[in-house]
Structure 1
């Protein structure tokens, strides 16, 4: 889908010298100017801010006892449980933050409590949902549990906490969600929302709060644990980044450190966590980037409960040392994520089909229901629809369920816990009430929580925050709810607003993409809320070699999930740079000159094999503002100076080397139009050296380069041989086929391992023949471009301009 609205670009600022001087030691391959611009844009404007931001070794972490008396009470209660060998239960949650928090407490508390005294509970996403439940609490009491330690949940479960108190069970809450007006009846509550917003612990996620509790135990009883506290940091990084919290203060510090420990799972012989190592292998990630969590581990951990409901085995996957068992669980996780992708795409398309039947001009809130929709993916789909259509979206699954069958709060399909601090549940009765469950997402600062709170009389239960909620209601109330929320937004003038413009952080060229720029951007990792992944604007670019395919799961079944690959080019780099566009078909890429916003990434895997390459992820694309036939630019003339010995070179785009393809000529044309200068064809008659002599010349050059230890640039090689880049690439393939070792990099190549004098194989003969054929074809085209009348070239260029501008088929 082309972007038609305006794009905004952050203005370039003259950054102070001290900033550049400070970051240059971290960036030996580049000037650091792009990194400095981003740091300045994002509020790093004092010298003392920088070291702790880019290097965790320079950050002073906050003591866990900053939680004050609550932490002291929690530690005292855990010490008592340890001394009396009490039965302690960890009450976790089923999303990535909750699962990793459970794993942190399972391993961390396990260093202090006897193995037979510690266990954990995780609700079923599809039948129980988030939070505590009286049924489970009663079961734990009957089993002799005397202490519950929650993680990533519990702050707002007042009724359930009172019930636990009546049964004689103490509760320590570790959570980061909404607090009730009054302190709940618990032994201790560790929740960063009790701290000031500027506090370095204020944005901790559930796993980070759990880690702080374990850290306090390590400080209090330093002689007891046998494993270092740092062994938990990889789990902390996964939960922090997957939960999309503000990565500032201790959150950023823990995420940075955690990623360094996550990388250790690349060890093929003895990974510290075999389950994570196998999961990284299956999702083709290395574990050294935040994106490996955001796009790899996080979605897969979440997928288990979305598809299966029960996520208990995820804790085993993360903590077990049984490699065979971990491999089995990792495969099940990967298959669940493949199924999640299919469901999400299918439900998304079904939602769009229903939206096509709505009158969007009168629709402020999209409310849709269907009995076939899986409740496990409704939150993901609702978020996509809300963003695409610019309206709050409520999606409901009407699969039959009674009031008795809905045993806990709604919101199970959400990626993060939604606290249920408002309930409109009516007294139980013998009457069977058909309930629907679903998820809601908001946009444009519309407070969806407040909107639904005003319609609480129509709901069974709901909970969440202003931008994401879970809810349930009687099926007969769906039309009433739809009418009520639409009318309220319409009257309050807070409904559909213009979609905010796309934001770009830096303007770059295709030639700048690659290792040096990647290292500059990596300096600011990990990215997240408050420090988003940089968006790079590339102007006047075009796409070549687009193709798409459906992904496959581990069993070889094609998924209804599309990835398009392409090469993005501009005048600075006509050969282009690789890229991907997830969830789109190749036909959606525009033809001709356009502007693109991308994110630069590094891919360690391709087709299941390690193949390290830099690539871009396409975020948005639109017809170029400098389109060739936009009407606001004069079409530049073409000057025919072919064969002339002398010619002026000022104020023209000079083509001094004879093109060997239409693509080369059109690239020069775009450059002329972009700079508003005439295009001058000033090349001499091509020299037609026999193709086999060029091959022999390439062989001789390869033998000379074999003795060189430095990189050889591509362009000088092409000029010496009189061939283009495509022919050179085929020549390098032919060299490899006869035994040369060819090592290619973006800036040049090395030749090694000169072959012995043996007869070439059939494959080598075929590779050499392909090179010779390409050279002959190139020479034919060069002869054509030297002899063809100018009027023919002008007609072809005008036609290409029309195609790029979309005015010609």
Structure 2
């Protein structure tokens, strides 16, 4: 067996349901199964999803607070009042700020923008920034992607004569800012049809309301912020991403074009993965290590030379960020292992002085990947006595609600169920650890602590067609709550499997089921090749796409995980580097036993030290009662040497039927199968020869006799051994001499003769048989266990 690396969660659909869906929706089996698995029961909506061009954006004035915000902004423009856009330093904040800048510029407003410094000011609005706005003769502050929790700072702003409009998308706290307008689709009293807009999406809707039309020329920027912020890619967000990606592939924003060119994407069809893993990290790097203003300037510039310089700066920041993340992650792991060498708490709260506050969120994500526990990474400022940081969570633990239980300890916090930001006094760190761990103990089960892979579609290989994959792709762009479909294929035969890549750490495969064949590639799964036997039938999960090579299209699966749900038999007969292979399986298999059939067989000392050696009796009758209970403890069995008989082997096969993996070595000291078994005529001639010679000096004349008769020395030695055992002959002064009147005995009375016959049979059937024959032999003998159990259950 081979265990999967994650816990697969899948929902099966009945054949009748799938066929009915196919019929009603006019879709492929793949899409029908996906829709049923995700609970998309509205066929009309699914058809809409497949035809994005026919969908339209919602009326922005359905957002609570929108009329008041538009009225106040229009008044400010009429009066030439000075407006300040107050943004945030992440990619969504940068995108939101840029959208608002371009909207106000188009409207002829008098404005500027301000993004707080992550290191000196922290997240969100602050009193000093409000004072600075007043000093700059600002009349109206418009927040983007921030402000929903800043009622204290907004009260202060109003008290010094500033008007404030809040546009945000984060979870609203119990107390909201009391200002001209608060626009947030998550407000409990807001009836907007879609609740999950990113900050850039809310800014886009405000722009739509101000312009009286959708600012579709800004959809590429809104798309970057939306995808980067990991909001659900459903509903209107999906519409923003869909049209935004189209715009992004033909962007008119010079800075974005230069960024794409620098990242090697200018000639690519840019998709949501390019945005999430290539574009967004570069934009985020600016605010993580320096000022986010650079990223806004990049989006706004119309000068190629300036754009190139800004992109270079962002790239340099991104490289520094990567090194910093690696260093801090190592330090965080060291902290955990030193403080919790054995039992880990249910929630990790890790704090250290002078950690870079700009990358704590990334480090938290890395720690979740390693430990699969909700994690908070905090940077301590000893001078101020404050710790600031970010949190990342796992399925089953709502981080925002957990922080709400610690409300009295946290002067500032906000976020989502899976991610949050916070600050607190250093003196409260231990209280925070204790309370969050209590939440973890109450909310998380042991099963919750096993990484989950959600599987959408369980299908047959024949379902994976070019047409089906193309139809699935129409459900893109994929992201949160609309992830790229994960399909599961069961009982796949392996047609080809090999390690590829410079370090042989990737896996290239070809699978077969009935007449259907599918290519597969598994990145960083190369180590699994050594853990899969040639006859294994695999279950695998992955994402399907179309591979185009030399103009030909073929379905392909990008393998994410795999398992073998049945016992595996590995053929290590005559294997090279046997000792190295043993070290590998001993590192990975906890319950491993090595069966030694013959006490005279040598087991290398360092291998013996790694495993539990069970030496079996030669008497078959004694096997079951002596070893059955002992062997049950072991899931991995190594058959080290050759049994003394097939009967012994058959019994052992029954005893190890429970094993998950069986490694067959069959180490042997002598080849009996290829040495001659003397016939009765051979023995008769040799006896007459000895009788005539009266004595025989084997060391001096054995080779001459062998050459004369065309025998081997081993055959002569064997006949001498049998004659001595049956007392036909004896040794006198190193010579072989016949007894004068020996008792008549059959060759079958010789233990050596019978064992030689058994050894030849064992070697023929076990050592020199093909892998397939060996596997069938083991399985045939193991099947008797089930037959016995069935007989017992039936009362026989």
TM-score range, shorter chain: 0.5 to 0.7
**CA–CA separation in structure 1 for the residues paired with 2:235 and 2:367:** 33
Q: Are the structure 2 counterparts of residues 291 and 800 from structure 1 closer, same or farther at C-alpha, using a change threshold of 3 Å?
A: farther
Question: SS state of the match for residue 72, structure 1?
Answer: helix
Does residue 544 of the first structure (1) align with residue 498 of the second (2)? Answer: yes
Aligned to 2:511: 570
Aligned to 1:80: 75
Aligned to 2:146: 153
Confirm or deny: 8 A CA contact 1:200 1:249 kept in the other structure. Answer: no
Confirm or deny: 8 A CA contact 1:461 1:472 kept in the other structure. Answer: yes
Instruction: Measure how far apart 1:214 and its partner are.
Output: 0.9
Instruction: Measure how far apart 1:93 and its partner are.
Output: 1.0
**CA–CA separation in structure 1 for the residues paired with 2:461 and 2:3:** 20
Aligned to 1:503: 454
**CA–CA separation in structure 2 for the residues paired with 1:322 and 1:612:** 42
Aligned to 2:323: 342
**CA–CA separation in structure 1 for the residues paired with 2:480 and 2:242:** 15
Aligned to 1:248: 234
| Of 495, 519, 524, the match for 2:470 | 519
Instruction: Measure how far apart 1:175 and its partner are.
Output: 1.0
**CA–CA separation in structure 2 for the residues paired with 1:394 and 1:463:** 13
Aligned to 2:221: 235
Q: Are the structure 2 counterparts of residues 479 and 211 from structure 1 closer, same or farther at C-alpha, using a change threshold of 3 Å?
A: closer
Aligned to 2:282: 300
Aligned to 1:779: none
Q: Are the structure 2 counterparts of residues 7 and 263 from structure 1 closer, same or farther at C-alpha, using a change threshold of 3 Å?
A: same
Can you list the C-alpha shifts for 1:227-266, whole angstroms capped at 9, x where unaligned? x82101111222222222223332222222222222214x
Does residue 103 of the first structure (1) align with residue 98 of the second (2)? Answer: yes
**CA–CA separation in structure 2 for the residues paired with 1:459 and 1:71:** 31
**CA–CA separation in structure 1 for the residues paired with 2:466 and 2:500:** 23
**CA–CA separation in structure 2 for the residues paired with 1:511 and 1:336:** 48
Instruction: Measure how far apart 1:571 and its partner are.
Output: 3.0
**CA–CA separation in structure 1 for the residues paired with 2:463 and 2:315:** 35
Instruction: Measure how far apart 1:602 and its partner are.
Output: 7.1
Question: SS state of the match for residue 537, structure 1?
Answer: strand
Question: SS state of the match for residue 141, structure 2?
Answer: strand
Structure possessing the higher radius of gyration over alpha carbons: 2
Confirm or deny: 8 A CA contact 2:396 2:443 kept in the other structure. Answer: no
Instruction: Measure how far apart 1:187 and its partner are.
Output: 1.5
Aligned to 1:625: 565
Aligned to 1:283: 263
| Of 285, 296, 300, the match for 1:319 | 300
Aligned to 2:681: none
| Of 374, 380, 402, the match for 2:356 | 374
Aligned to 2:254: 274
Question: SS state of the match for residue 131, structure 1?
Answer: coil
**CA–CA separation in structure 1 for the residues paired with 2:409 and 2:218:** 45
Pairs within 5 Å for 1:24-423: 32-67=28-63, 70-114=65-109, 117-194=110-187, 199-219=192-212, 229-265=215-251, 272-285=252-265, 286-306=268-288, 308-357=289-338, 358-361=340-343, 363-371=345-353, 373-386=355-368, 388-398=370-380, 400-403=381-384
Q: Are the structure 2 counterparts of residues 177 and 626 from structure 1 closer, same or farther at C-alpha, using a change threshold of 3 Å?
A: same
CA RMSD of aligned residues (A): 3.9
**CA–CA separation in structure 1 for the residues paired with 2:118 and 2:552:** 37
Question: SS state of the match for residue 351, structure 2?
Answer: strand
Count the aligned residue pairs: 570
Q: Are the structure 2 counterparts of residues 601 and 302 from structure 1 closer, same or farther at C-alpha, using a change threshold of 3 Å?
A: farther
Can you list the C-alpha shifts for 1:258-294, whole angstroms capped at 9, x where unaligned? 22222214xxxxxx12222233334344354222222
**CA–CA separation in structure 1 for the residues paired with 2:142 and 2:105:** 13
Does residue 597 of the first structure (1) align with residue 590 of the second (2)? Answer: no
**CA–CA separation in structure 1 for the residues paired with 2:460 and 2:275:** 28
Confirm or deny: 8 A CA contact 2:498 2:529 kept in the other structure. Answer: no
Instruction: Measure how far apart 1:363 and its partner are.
Output: 2.1
Can you list the C-alpha shifts for 1:376-404, whole angstroms capped at 9, x where unaligned? 22222323433543432222234x4532x
**CA–CA separation in structure 1 for the residues paired with 2:75 and 2:125:** 24
Confirm or deny: 8 A CA contact 1:449 1:463 kept in the other structure. Answer: yes
**CA–CA separation in structure 2 for the residues paired with 1:372 and 1:216:** 44
Unaligned runs of 5+ in 1: 25-30, 223-227, 266-271, 404-433, 550-562, 632-788, 803-809
Unaligned runs of 5+ in 2: 572-763, 778-796
Can you list the C-alpha shifts for 1:704-736, whole angstroms capped at 9, x where unaligned? xxxxxxxxxxxxxxxxxxxxxxxxxxxxxxxxx
Question: SS state of the match for residue 380, structure 1?
Answer: helix
Aligned to 1:472: 423
Instruction: Measure how far apart 1:305 and its partner are.
Output: 1.7
Confirm or deny: 8 A CA contact 1:284 1:604 kept in the other structure. Answer: no
**CA–CA separation in structure 1 for the residues paired with 2:304 and 2:313:** 14
Confirm or deny: 8 A CA contact 2:165 2:182 kept in the other structure. Answer: yes
Confirm or deny: 8 A CA contact 2:522 2:558 kept in the other structure. Answer: yes
Does residue 533 of the first structure (1) align with residue 484 of the second (2)? Answer: yes
**CA–CA separation in structure 2 for the residues paired with 1:451 and 1:444:** 13
Confirm or deny: 8 A CA contact 1:196 1:202 kept in the other structure. Answer: no
Question: SS state of the match for residue 154, structure 1?
Answer: coil
Q: Are the structure 2 counterparts of residues 384 and 517 from structure 1 closer, same or farther at C-alpha, using a change threshold of 3 Å?
A: farther
Aligned to 2:387: 436
**CA–CA separation in structure 2 for the residues paired with 1:621 and 1:394:** 31
Q: Are the structure 2 counterparts of residues 35 and 791 from structure 1 closer, same or farther at C-alpha, using a change threshold of 3 Å?
A: same
Q: Are the structure 2 counterparts of residues 796 and 334 from structure 1 closer, same or farther at C-alpha, using a change threshold of 3 Å?
A: farther
**CA–CA separation in structure 1 for the residues paired with 2:127 and 2:368:** 35
**CA–CA separation in structure 1 for the residues paired with 2:285 and 2:539:** 35
Question: SS state of the match for residue 569, structure 2?
Answer: coil
